[in-house]
């Protein structure tokens, strides 16, 4: 079955830039969306359709795609950004949705 691959963890100091990657063979055919999960809270969509930021999300969050890898970039990371981040996409035919394994962002 189709899988999306994410690094388990990323660590950055406050004010630095964090880049979280998501790889999958079908990412050139299907949009990718990104979610922020914090313990005890409802997940929050931070980027959709590869690189569109919802208006309620801070401008420091951005998305990009290069080949079969999509990247969530958080510029000027703040302590409140510490969370797990998951990418979501679909198989090449759009039959089912899959999530990446998640990346834990630690703000040092």
Partner 1 sequence: QVQLVQSGAEVKKPGASVRVSCKASGYTFSSNTIHWVRQAPGQRLEWMGWINAGNGNTKYSQKFQGRVTFTSDTSASTAYMELSSLGSEDTAVYYCARGFRPGTTSELDYWGQGTLVTVSS
Q: Phi and psi dihedrals of 58, rounded to 5?
A: -55, 150
Comparing CB distances to partner 1, the nearer of 24 and 100 is 100
Per CB under 8 A, does 28 bind partner 1?
no
Comparing CB distances to partner 1, the nearer of 15 and 106 is 106
Q: 55 is written with which tokens? A: 């208006």
Contact residue for partner 1 among 35, 63, 83, 107 (CB under 8 A): 35
d(CA 95, CA 11): 34
78, 21, 63, 98 alpha-carbon torsion, rounded to 10°: -110
Residues for the chain: how many in total? 108
CB of 71 to partner 1, least distance (A): 17
Per CB under 8 A, does 54 bind partner 1?
yes
CB of 16 to partner 1, least distance (A): 26
d(CA 47, CA 20): 12
Task: Name the residues that contact partner 1, by CB under 8 A.
Answer: 30-31, 33, 35, 41-45, 48-49, 54, 86, 88-90, 94-102
């Amino acid at each position: 079955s189709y899988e999306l691959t994410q690094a388990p963890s990323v660590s950055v100091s406050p004010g630095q830039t964090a880049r979280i990657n998501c790889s999958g063979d079908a990412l050139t055919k299907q949009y990718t969306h990104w979610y922020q999960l914090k313990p005890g809270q409802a997940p929050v969509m931070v980027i959709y359709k590869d690189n569109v930021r919802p208006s309620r999300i801070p401008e420091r969050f951005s998305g990009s795609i290069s080949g079969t890898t999509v990247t969530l970039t958080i510029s000027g990371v703040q302590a409140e950004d510490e969370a797990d981040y998951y990418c979501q996409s679909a198989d090449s035919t759009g039959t089912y949705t899959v999530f990446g394994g998640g990346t834990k962002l630690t703000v040092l």
